[in-house]
């Protein structure tokens, strides 16, 4: 296996989004080629309702997919197509905005006031930016968990892991998205497609990434709230220290298309952006069949 080298480790940036939600952005609104096909990754974990309860009131999306993964608390969701629901712990909402939705996402803490979750934006290829909007709502028990004899656990949210297929289907960029947990003092090798770009986001414990033998660049030890960006290879290697290690691993095929991005709308050209914002002003953004 050729181990994916670590290109960079960075801490997320504190930002305020929506109506006043304090969150940490690992990447987004920057050099899109670094993470292509992924556009943005937000860590919206908070332990105090004042940090998140203002939520994300009505806003549009077009041209992307958003993936929300909740670990604690719930996110109430409603949209312009009449969909309503709530995402609870362990649940995933994979939303293909396609030609356009207008929605709101309102975090509600649990009994301890915790709201823990992550949102990943995946770009859509030009050929699918104006596709029909759709949702895949995945319950916790639908996410397969593969545990090996050392206790290394991989929850497969999307894509293939060995013989196991995640519940999210038909995603344009064919990404892999795993929630990986290593017990203390273990090393895991996770296969990735050599043509994919990949990153990890650590959210608990401590550990190192990359070739532990010293044969290549590695990173660590790193802990909670660290983004690790990998270079090309066919496997990601992670080792935990005595605290164990938990991280999200995402890998996807780069689209290599021009990106025109303003706020929650991501298209290929400035003209497409102008059209989208004109439609929002004129009330013709939502296009029904
Ligand atoms: Fe949104």
Q: What is the pLDDT of residues 234-264, one digit of tens each?
A: 999 999 999 999 999 999 999 999 999 999 9
d(CA 57, ligand 1 centre) in Å: 9
Q: What is the pLDDT of residues 24-70, one digit of tens each?
A: 999 999 889 999 999 999 999 999 999 999 999 999 999 999 999 99
Percent of the chain at pLDDT > 70 equals: 97
d(CA 67, ligand 1 centre) in Å: 10
d(CA 34, ligand 1 centre) in Å: 22
Residue 216 clears pLDDT 80, i.e. is over it: no
Q: How far apart are CA 253 and CA 162, in angstroms?
A: 18
Tokens 């670094």 appear where? 34
Q: What is the pLDDT of residues 61-110, one digit of tens each?
A: 999 999 999 999 999 999 988 889 999 999 999 999 999 999 999 999 99
pLDDT band at 132; cut points 50, 70, 90: very high
> Quick one: pLDDT at residue 173?
72
First to last CA, the chain: 48
Q: How far apart are CA 272 and CA 196, in angstroms?
A: 27
So what's the architecture of 6-282 in CATH? Sandwich (2.60)
Tokens 């709230």 appear where? 225
Q: How far apart are CA 173 and CA 66, in angstroms?
A: 12
d(CA 157, ligand 1 centre) in Å: 19
Name which residue leads in pLDDT, 159 or 173.
159
Residue 185 clears pLDDT 70, i.e. is over it: yes
Q: How far apart are CA 150 and CA 23, in angstroms?
A: 34
Residue 184 clears pLDDT 80, i.e. is over it: yes
d(CA 237, ligand 1 centre) in Å: 32
d(CA 124, ligand 1 centre) in Å: 15
Tokens 């939600």 appear where? 21
> Quick one: pLDDT at residue 169?
82
| Residues paired with residue 215 on neighbouring β-strands, in sequence order | none
Q: What is the dihedral of CA 69, 75, 80, 81, to 10 degrees?
A: 60
pLDDT band at 1; cut points 50, 70, 90: confident
d(CA 68, ligand 1 centre) in Å: 10
pLDDT band at 150; cut points 50, 70, 90: very high
Q: What is the pTM of this model?
A: 0.96
Q: What is the dihedral of CA 212, 213, 216, 220, to 10 degrees?
A: 30
Name the burial class of residue 237, with classes exposed (0-12), middle (13-18) and buried (19+) by CB atoms within 10 angstroms of its CB: buried
Distance of CA 240 to the CA centre of its chain: 22
> Quick one: pLDDT at residue 212?
59
Task: Return the CA Rg of the chain.
Answer: 19
- What angle is formed at CA 43 by the lines to CA 38 and CA 47, rounded to 5 degrees? 170
> Quick one: pLDDT at residue 31?
86
The average pLDDT across 217-236 equals 90
Tokens representing residue 125 in the block: 């290829």
Residue 217 clears pLDDT 60, i.e. is over it: no
Q: How far apart are CA 10 and CA 26, in angstroms?
A: 8
> Quick one: pLDDT at residue 80?
86
> Quick one: pLDDT at residue 220?
78
Q: How far apart are CA 142 and CA 53, in angstroms?
A: 28
Tokens representing residue 122 in the block: 């995946």
Average pLDDT in the chain: 94
| Residues paired with residue 78 on neighbouring β-strands, in sequence order | 84, 104
> Quick one: pLDDT at residue 219?
80
d(CA 255, ligand 1 centre) in Å: 22
Tell me the domain boundaries of the chain: 6-282
Residue 112 clears pLDDT 60, i.e. is over it: yes
- The percent of the chain in helix, strand and coil, each rounded to the nearest 5, is 10, 55, 40
d(CA 8, ligand 1 centre) in Å: 28
Compute CA distances 16 → 25, 42, 62, 88, whole Å. 10, 11, 21, 23
Q: DSSP letter string over 96-145?
A: E-TT-EEEEEEEE--TTS-BEEEEEEEEPPGGGTTSPPEEEEE-GGGS-E
d(CA 86, ligand 1 centre) in Å: 14
**Which residues neighbour 13 within 8 Å (Cβ) at sequence distance 6 or greater?**
24, 25
């Amino acid at each position: 296996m050729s181990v994916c080298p670590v290109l960079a480790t960075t801490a997320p940036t504190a930002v305020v989004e929506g109506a006043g939600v304090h969150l940490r952005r690992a990447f987004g609104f920057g050099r899109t080629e670094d993470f292509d096909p992924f556009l943005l990754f937000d860590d919206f974990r908070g332990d105090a309702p004042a940090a998140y309860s203002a939520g994300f009131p009505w806003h549009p999306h077009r041209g992307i997919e958003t993936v929300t993964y909740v670990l604690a608390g719930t996110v109430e969701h409603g949209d312009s197509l009449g969909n309503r629901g709530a995402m609870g712990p362990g649940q995933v909402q994979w939303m293909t905005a396609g030609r356009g939705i207008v929605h709101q996402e309102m975090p509600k803490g649990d009994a301890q006031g915790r709201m823990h979750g992550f949102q990943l934006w995946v770009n859509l290829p030009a050929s699918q930016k104006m596709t029909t909007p759709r949702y895949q709502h995945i319950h916790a028990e639908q996410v397969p968990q593969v545990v090996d004899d050392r206790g290394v656990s991989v929850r497969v949210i999307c894509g293939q892991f060995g013989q196991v297929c995640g519940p999210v289907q038909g995603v344009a960029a064919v990404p892999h998205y795993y929630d990986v947990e290593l017990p203390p003092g273990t090393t895991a090798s996770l296969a990735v497609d050599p043509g994919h770009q990949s990153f990890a986001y650590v959210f608990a414990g401590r550990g190192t990434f990359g070739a532990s033998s010293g044969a290549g660049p590695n990173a660590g030890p790193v802990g909670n709230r660290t983004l690790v960006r990998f270079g090309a290879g066919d496997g990601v290697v992670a080792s935990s220290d005595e605290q164990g290690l938990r991280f999200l691993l995402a890998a996807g095929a780069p689209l290599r298309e021009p990106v025109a991005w303003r706020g929650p709308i991501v298209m290929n050209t400035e003209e497409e952006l102008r059209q989208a914002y004109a439609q929002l002003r004129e009330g013709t953004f939502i296009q029904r069949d």
